Structure 1
Amino acid sequence: MSYGHAVQDELREPSRALRRAIPEVYDGYRRMHAAAYAPGALDEKTKELIALAIAVSEECDGCIASHARGAARTGATPEEVAEALGVTIAMTGGPGTVYGPRAFAAYQEFAEAAAPGPDGDPRAPAVS
């Protein structure tokens, strides 16, 4: 397990506890999130790349892990992720050079996990 999964695992239980304590807030957030990420003039992959870039600029580890996973899930290529992170570095400077590599590592981790296995099953490990 590396960066992306580790961050998500660390946050899983505290997030569940808070969600149980304030379910209305989380429901409102879920609905807003669904509306913001729904395909429209921009497709979901583009929106995930934007969100990943913002996550890096905000230095939010949980957001980076979530949107790196989203970028992999929506089919973003390593080149697309790298270019989005390059723009983030240009806009944020030094912090982007710290959080950008974290985001790229998380994306690679989730993309590798999502790659089809030897029999075409995306749940089976890919053969290198």
Structure 2
Amino acid sequence: MNHGKAVRDALRGPTRALRQTIPDVYEGYRQLHDSALAPGALDARTKELIALAIAVSKECDGCIAAHAHAAVRHGATPQEAAEAIGVTFLMNGGPATVYGARAFDAFREFHEEHAKARSTA
């Protein structure tokens, strides 16, 4: 279904245009992003899984793509992603079953790409 790279790629141009128009706002957001997701009492993998679950609850395809990719980069497994997404069903009901499937599709897409890259390295 391509809920990972296709979404990320589709947003790249419009995001770049807006970032160029309001660079200070984007810089402030980048700092917040980096601070919130930095390892602390919770590691970055766990924080990215939390962000992925919130992205499902907020029904944000761009957020799903970004945090699915980041969770993979930080070593999350498909089972961990599925369980984090499963919690959104409890908290968000039916809409989470739709966006959860999108999130799991995006996660698996990035996970498979990451596994292929590691096997050829």
The TM-score with structure 2 as length reference comes to 0.95
Gap regions ≥5 residues in structure 2: none
Corresponding residue for residue 57 of structure 1: 57
Gap regions ≥5 residues in structure 1: 122-128
Looking at structure 1, the residues matched to 7 and 89 of structure 2 have their Cα atoms a distance apart, in angstroms, of 22
Corresponding residue for residue 19 of structure 1: 19
Q: Which amino acid aligns with 1:109?
A: E
After superposing on structure 2, the runs of 4+ consecutive aligned residues of structure 1 that deviate more than 3 Å are 116-120
**Paired positions, count:** 121
Corresponding residue for residue 9 of structure 1: 9
Per the TM alignment, residue 2 of structure 1 is displaced from its structure 2 partner at its CA by 1.7
Per the TM alignment, residue 3 of structure 1 is displaced from its structure 2 partner at its CA by 1.7
Q: Which amino acid aligns with 2:114?
A: A
Corresponding residue for residue 105 of structure 1: 105
Looking at structure 2, the residues matched to 118 and 31 of structure 1 have their Cα atoms a distance apart, in angstroms, of 30
Per the TM alignment, residue 88 of structure 1 is displaced from its structure 2 partner at its CA by 0.6
**Higher relative contact order, structure no. (Cα contacts within 8 Å, ≥ 6 residues apart):** 2
Instruction: Give the structure with the larger helix fraction.
Output: 2
Greater displacement, 1-10 / 28-37: 1-10
Per the TM alignment, residue 118 of structure 1 is displaced from its structure 2 partner at its CA by 7.6
Q: Which amino acid aligns with 1:62?
A: G
Looking at structure 1, the residues matched to 119 and 79 of structure 2 have their Cα atoms a distance apart, in angstroms, of 26
Deviations along 1:24-76, whole A, 9 cap, x unmatched?
Answer: 00000001111111100000000000000000000000000000101111110
Corresponding residue for residue 70 of structure 1: 70
Which structure would you say has the larger Rg? 1
Corresponding residue for residue 93 of structure 2: 93
Per the TM alignment, residue 97 of structure 1 is displaced from its structure 2 partner at its CA by 0.5
C-alpha change, 1:73 and 1:94, in structure 2 (3 Å) is same
